[in-house]
Amino acid sequence: MMLRAVTPAIVLRELLETGLRPAGRLQRNSFTSGIAGRWEPRLPFAFQQLLFHRHQYQGQRQQLRAAYCSSSKSEGNTDKPPASTNDNLTPDKKRQKAGLLPSLEDLLFYTIAEGQERIPIHKFITVLKSTGLRTSDPRLKECMDMLRTNVQAASDGVLLDKELFKKCVGSNIVLLTQAFRRKFVIPDFEIFASHIDGLYESAKKMSGGKVADYIPQLAKFSPDLWGVSLCTVDGQRHSVGDTKVPFCLQSCVKPLKYAVSVHNLGTDYVHKYVGKEPSGLRFNKLFLNEEDKPHNPMVNAGAIVVTSLIKQGVSNAEKFDYVTQFLNRMAGNEYIGFNNATFQSERESGDRNFAIGYYLKEKKCFPEGSDMTGVLDFYFQLCSIEVTCESGSVMAATLANGGICPITGERVLSPEAVRNTLSLMHSCGMYDFSGQFAFHVGLPAKSGVSGGILLVVPNVMGIMCWSPPLDKLGNSVRGIHFCQDLVSLFNFHNYDNLRHFAKKHDPRREGGEVRVKSVINLLFAAYTGDVSALRRFALSAMDMEQRDYDSRTALHVAAAEGHVEVVHFLLEACKVNPFPKDRWGNTPVDEAIHFGHHDIVTILQEYQSNYMPTEDSNNGKEKPSKENLDSMV
């Protein structure tokens, strides 16, 4: 019997495809036990042959070794064997000679080079940015430093050959490979970013609203300022508008300091002092629940109590340093500042908050030993912390990523703290608009009177919107419009169905993936004669005239296979076009004639004689589907 040639790659592929394994554990002696017949009888032929030849080869190798040793001793030759010719080969040649696959660095180089021997640096940077990564990403620091160092030392500083490229990307190869293979949460990031730009421009046209003026520093901002920045859980970034202008967090800091408190003290301890229910009242109302506790941490009373729980027993200066360092870690070491003028104004005009503070003190809402005036000072300080849209988006992305900062990889918050924070943001984060926002947008968010909206799309991204003009409820006019448009375009709403959506985009899927699966399912159902599946597709508003890469429709396939019932359904219930031509110019009638299905030829010709194409294809598709709903069912 002639044995077919086998390679380790073929063997491993066949073994993995079958999912079989030996009767015992795969250890070093498993090969000899395989010869003895302990392998499962269905094991791939190639693997059995490999074992047989390995057993023979081991015996031959032992004989050769014994012969070589005996000849060396008899001749008294103590010289070392000649050096291997592999010593003069490059690492790539050695890998190739050994039958190994190219390294990740090689594959990445070939992908970007497109047949060229050297890569222009600007091309590498452009392709990198198209994935959503930035050259300032902390995870790429080694790569960028190496790139700068080697480029300065090279004679031709604008081109990278393969060896220099591999040297530069080697320390970050896993992240870069993931990026270029489109394995991030948003695979087609450039398309997604263009949609965000469109939403930004739409919201920019919004007029109305009033800039908050109860604090003079807030009133100084121009009503035309408008910025949106996003950061995904994989660290993909996009910014548009005034995203580098610092502004105070104000109430946007409330969920952040609550998260810090739960992270350090635990849920049970924190909620001994504050509730977790929406109040239904104004955010600065002087009111407690039936247990004499603030309703939730997102109203002023609850936020003041949460402030009193942070780092009890130390000075306000130490507390402030601790919180700012914590927020800095959440923001991936991006901009975190402090506006002293706003702090002074808050303290001077904070009569309502002082009244709330005295009421809380009278009801014994603070931990024992708390200094109420010191707590209020610290509260005003935290409201005066500054961020930009860019740094705020990273903080939101840390919440979206379960407490791990996406651009540093550091765990900043516990999963418990993140879960509780997002739950409260969802139910109480948008002042008196919280119920409406949860209904229409369905995402955790927190707004502030400075015009910021901190929006979290769990497991996907964080977004910071900022525009100073506010509506009558204290939320940014443009920010609310942007958030509503965002969930109208993408299926980000908490209760959007991820499996069956007709009109919304899912940016988490690679471009064309949904359409490809749809075409495959449709044509396979026509091929197998599965009218039930076709009926389901038609009822779910699928385009029954979709074409594959050869421009063949389901009607082509059904006619070629001779499925009379399928042809009847497509023509009479779905009202598909009976004249479509594939890439070779063949119609379904041609297919039926070619394969000898004369009954289908008759059906098609009769239908063609009565077919009247509609001018508006969209209306033409919707109308028949409604008229023929009964026939489909």
Of 169, 229, 240, 254, the catalytic one is 254
Task: Provide the 8-state DSSP code for 629.
Answer: H
b/e sequence 134-167, b meaning 16+ C-beta within 10 Å: beebbbbeebbebbeeebeeeeeeebbebebbbb
Task: Provide the 8-state DSSP code for 506.
Answer: -
Active-site residue flag, 379: yes
The DSSP string of 519-580 is: HHHHHHHHHHT-HHHHHHHHHTT--TT---TT---HHHHHHHHT-HHHHHIIIIIS---S--
Of 166, 185, 240, 251, the catalytic one is 251
Rounded to the nearest 5°, which phi and psi values hold at 241?
A: 95, -150
Active-site residue flag, 540: no
* Closest by CA position to 592, among listed 555, 548, 552: 555
| Triad 156, 162, 168: Cα angle to 5° | 80
CA distance 378 to 324: 12
Beta bridge partners of 237: 231
Active-site residue flag, 251: yes
CA distance 105 to 201: 40
Of 449, 456, 567, 576, the catalytic one is 449
Query: Are the C-beta atoms of residues 295 and 432 closer than 8 Å to each other?
Result: no
Of 262, 379, 394, 460, the catalytic one is 379
Task: Provide the 8-state DSSP code for 476.
Answer: B
Of 323, 431, 460, 575, the catalytic one is 431
What's the distance, CA 467 to chain centroid? 26
Please name the residue that has the structure tokens 């490809």: 516
b/e sequence 382-413, b meaning 16+ C-beta within 10 Å: bbbbbbbbbbbbbbbbbbbbbbbbbbbeeebb
Catalytic positions are 251, 254, 379, 431, 449
